[in-house]
């Protein structure tokens, strides 16, 4: 355990104007954290595919995906995104990323719990995600927050790369009505 999260941390919705900063931060986090999980070549290939600005804009405009920014002391330090799956009541956590120097303070969990609340607010009763099987820190964070492994999947990403993932899932309690 490091130290308590900064009291100035807050989570805000992201707009298209925030996407360049999010894409830049993705590069910083992926290149710092993922070399122990996948090859550098795979990191660069996946970053170019997944964080191209046109791709991110399409996620917001056409796929109903929502992005959120974690701001600590006025700086963008993390982000998340959630979106529909095509199955009613099931929402997918697409992204959950925190700068490495802030890992181990509970801020990843805070970002995750915020995404859960947003999904619940959109009517979801189940939140799913894909995580690399070798990503022990992220798997631990998800388990700490009540997610369990639902299945194991090997997916072709393109470029000769595969993703060896767990699909994890959590049941979300329905939002209680404010008035009864
Ligand atoms: C996934 C990720 C967001 C999780 O963040 P994290 O900081 O690792 O996890 P948490 O926020 O749950 O923090 C838990 C740690 O903070 C400590 N902590 C300190 N204060 C805390 C608090 N107030 N509340 C909760 N935990 C606290 C816990 O003891 C725990 O320590 P440990 O890791 O030594 O056991 C982060 O690891 C990350 O960005 N990883 C790289 C990107 C990635 O892999 N994303 C997932 C893609 S599927």
Distance 180 CA to ligand 1 centre (A): 37
- pTM for this prediction: 0.93
* Cα 111 to middle of ligand 1, angstroms: 10
Report which of 92, 85, 70, 82 is spatially closest to residue 21, judged by C-alpha positions: 70
Per DSSP, the three-state class of 160 is coil
Q: Ligand 1, from 134, 137, 170: best to mutate by most atoms within 8 Å of Cβ?
A: 137
Distance 53 CA to ligand 1 centre (A): 27
Ligand 1 shell residues, CB under 6 Å: 1, 4-5, 29, 33, 96-98, 103-109, 131, 135, 137-138, 141, 144
Answer yes or no: is pLDDT of 2 > 70: no
Which of 27, 98, 100 gets mutated to test ligand 1 (max ligand atoms within 8 A of its CB)?
A: 98
User: Cα separation of 120 and 166, whole Å?
Assistant: 22
Q: Mean pLDDT across the stretch 124-131?
A: 98
Give the pLDDT confidence of 48-92 residue by residue, as tens digits.
999 999 999 999 999 999 999 999 999 999 999 999 999 999 999
Query: How confident is residue 150, by pLDDT bands cut at 50, 70 and 90?
Result: very high
Per-residue pLDDT tens digits for 41-51: 999 999 999 99
Q: Cα-flanking dihedrals φ and ψ of residue 153, to 5°?
A: -135, 140
Average pLDDT over residues 92-99: 98
Query: Any alpha helices (H) in 84-180, and if so which ranges?
Result: 107-121, 136-144
- DSSP strands (E only) in the chain: 10-13, 66-72, 75-84, 90-98, 126-132, 148-158, 161-171
* CB atoms inside a 10 Å sphere around CB 59: 19
Q: What is the mean pLDDT of the chain?
A: 94
11-25 pLDDT, tens digit per residue, is 999 999 999 999 999
Domain residue spans in the chain? 10-171
Is a pLDDT exceeding 90 seen at residue 6? no
Residue among 127, 138, 168 whose CB has most ligand 1 atoms within 8 A, to mutate: 138
Residue minimizing CA distance to atom 20 of ligand 1:
105
Instruction: Classify domain 10-171 by CATH architecture.
Output: 3-Layer(aba) Sandwich (3.40)
What's the half-sphere exposure (Cβ side, CA atoms, 13 Å) at 153? 13
Nearest CA to ligand 1 atom 23: 106
């Amino acid at each position: 355990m490091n130290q308590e999260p900064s009291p100035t941390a807050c989570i805000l919705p992201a707009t298209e104007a925030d996407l360049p900063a999010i894409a830049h931060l993705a590069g910083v986090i992926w290149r710092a954290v993922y070399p122990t999980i996948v090859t550098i070549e795979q990191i660069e290939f996946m970053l170019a595919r997944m964080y191209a600005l046109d791709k991110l804009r399409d996620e917001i405009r056409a796929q109903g995906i929502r992005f959120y920014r974690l701001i600590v002391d006025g700086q963008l330090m993390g982000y998340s995104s959630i979106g529909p799956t095509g199955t009613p009541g099931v929402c997918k956590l697409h992204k959950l990323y925190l700068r490495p120097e802030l890992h181990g303070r509970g801020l990843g969990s805070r970002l995750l719990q915020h995404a859960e609340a947003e999904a619940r607010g959109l009517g979801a009763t189940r939140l799913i995600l894909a995580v690399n099987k070798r990503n022990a820190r992220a798997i631990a964070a998800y388990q700490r927050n009540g997610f369990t492994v639902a299945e194991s999947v090997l997916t072709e990403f393109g470029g000769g790369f595969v993703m060896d993932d767990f699909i994890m899932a959590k049941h979300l309690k329905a939002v209680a009505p404010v008035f009864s």
